[in-house]
Structure 1
Amino acid sequence: MPDAARPDLPPSFGVGQADQRIMLTTFLDEHRAAATAVLDGLTDEEARRSLVLSPTTVLGLVKHLTLVETIWFTELLLGSTRAELGLPATPAESFLLQDRDSVESVRHAHAEACARSRQAISGRALDEVITGHRFGPMTLGWILTHCIRETAQHVGHAEILREQILAARH
């Protein structure tokens, strides 16, 4: 973990010499935390606000990241089916908000999905080959790396939208 004398550093700075699994899971957990942090202090109306031409919203981005966690870990690693999980037909649909979606409900669903993801990788080796995905066989290490990339990308989008929302308050 980070040096206690440097509380300004994220946890990933404390794992620079750790094994690859610890590095990957620490980076992913940092991005997972950032995904829900973008919702902090936003009202439901603000989090639903569309500021770009696409249906992308801060709340929709976190909802999509819940789908990402569910597809890559619960569906692929635990063998649950899309029907059992109630997943949308396409990733694009996961950005769309329902009336029941709120900051708290989406935050809760994301936390549950991340907890299931951690459980799904428990005891698995990074070089374990996972089959059953439309892209073909891949290692757990690849899946973790892909999820870090996708989560970081969408958190960046959400942070920009959040900045616009907060700026509009003034």
Structure 2
Amino acid sequence: MTMELNDLLHELNDQRRTFRITMRNLTEADAKKRTTASELTLGGLLKHLTWCERGWTHILTEQPLPPPGMLDGTQYTWTGSDFDALLAEYDEAVRATDEALRTASLDKLVPLPEAPWDPDPQPMSIRRIVLHIMRETAQHAGHADIMRETLDGQSTTASLYEF
């Protein structure tokens, strides 16, 4: 593994850790509550980031189509009954992404599948994919922090030193 990839994974994992802290001590009922004007819930964000990790791992390993369900619009909602299982799915998706990245060349170009928002996608470097996952995770970690603070006053930033 190169120093650059090591640094990128370090930063990505820092964003994942921040997001994961937001999920600490949530109940299933809390994970389903809407705390803003949007339909988003903390469980929905967790499900979405799990699907993001899985989807990019799918692409990193050059499987030809997006994984099942990736584009059906349900990845932001969670109505399940086992929040701990959802957390475990996220952790497993993260491990799979990291494993795929550890053996990859950052300069390698990977073909992207068509998507409703991009019918003619151009190949993307592994480096850019890592940066995209990092941006996506950081963006949703910020959403989750606001939602959690609205839910019960917990602050992810204050909790960083307790995790």
Tell me if both proteins adopt one fold, taking TM over 0.5 as the criterion: yes
Q: Which runs of 5+ in 1 are unaligned?
A: 1-17
TM-score by length of 1: 0.78
Q: Secondary structure at the match of 2:54?
A: helix
1:121: Cα distance to partner?
A: 1.4
Distance 1:41 1:119 in 2: 28
* Alpha-carbon displacement from aligned partner over 1:66-122 (angstroms, at most 9, x marks no partner): 01101111x202244668x543433x420111334x321111010110111112112
Q: Deviations over 1:148-170 (max 9, x none)?
A: 111000010001111111139xx
Q: Which has the larger radius of gyration?
A: 1
Cα distance in 1, alignment partners of residues 69 and 97 from structure 2: 16
For structure 2, the 5+ residue unaligned runs are 115-120, 155-163
Residue aligning to 2:129: 143
Q: Report the identity percentage.
A: 26
Which position in structure 2 is the counterpart of 1:40?
24
**1:39–1:103 contact (8 Å) kept in structure 2:** no
**Counterparts of 1:164 and 1:59, CA distance in 2:** 15
Q: How many residues align?
A: 147
CA–CA distance in structure 2, aligned partners of residues 139 and 72 of structure 1: 12
Aligned partner of 1:62 in structure 2 is 46
Partner secondary structure for residue 87 of structure 1: coil
Q: Is the 8 A contact 2:64 2:113 kept in 1?
A: no
CA–CA separation in structure 2 for the residues paired with 1:81 and 1:115:
21
Moved more, 54-63 or 131-140: 131-140
Distance (Å, rounded) in 2 between the aligned partners of 1:86 and 1:98: 19
- Find 1:29's aligned residue among 13, 16, 27: 13
- TM-superposed CA distance for 1:36, in Å, is 1.9
Q: 2:36 aligns with which of 45, 52, 70?
A: 52
| 2:45–2:144 CA contact under 8 A, matched in 1 | yes
Q: Is the 8 A contact 2:62 2:110 kept in 1?
A: no
Distance 1:48 1:98, change over 3 A: closer
8 Å CA contact 2:112–2:124 kept in 1: the answer is no
